Amino acid sequence: MQSNNHPLSEEGHTTRNIDPCILVIFGATGDLTSRKLAPALYNLGKDGLLPPNFACVGFARREKTHEEFRQDVKKDISTFSRIKPIDEGFWQNFHEQIFYHQSEFDDDAGYVRLASFLKQLDSQFATRANRVFYLSVQPKYFPMIIEKLKKHGMIYDPHDHTKWSRVIIEKPFGHDLASAAALQAQISENLDESQTYRIDHYLGKETVQNLLVFRFANSIFESLWNYKHIDHVQITVAEEIGIGSRGNFFEEEGLLRDIVQNHMMQLLSHVAMEPPVNLSASGIRDEKVKVLQSVRPLTEADFKEWVVRGQYGPGFINGQSAAGYRQEKDVHKDSPIETFLAMRLFIDNWRWAGVPFYLRGGKRLPKRGTEIAIIFKDAPGVLFQQREHPNLPNVLAMRIQPDEGIAMRINCKVPGPSSPIQPVKMDFRYGSYFGQTPPEAYERLIWECILGDSTLFARSDEVSESWSILTPVLEYWAAHPPKHFPNYPCGSWGPKEADEMIAKDGRSWRIL
As annotated, the active-site residues are: 263
- Identify the CA nearest to 346 among candidates 334, 329, 330, 358: 358
Distance CA 452, CA 127 (A): 15
- Identify the CA nearest to 99 among candidates 126, 123, 76, 121: 121
CA distances from 32 to 26, 135, 201 (A): 11, 11, 12
331 and 325 in contact (C-beta within 8 Å)? yes
Three-class SS state of 303: helix
HSE, side-chain direction, 13 A CA sphere, residue 272: 32
The contacts of residue 301 (CB under 8 Å, 6+ apart) are: none
Sheet containing 21-26: give its strands across.
98-102, 54-60, 21-26, 131-135, 165-169, 196-198
- Identify the CA nearest to 23 among candidates 99, 82, 81: 99
Distance CA 22, CA 121 (A): 8
151 and 106 in contact (C-beta within 8 Å)? no
Find the angle CA(136)-CA(142)-CA(146) to the nearest 5 degrees: 110
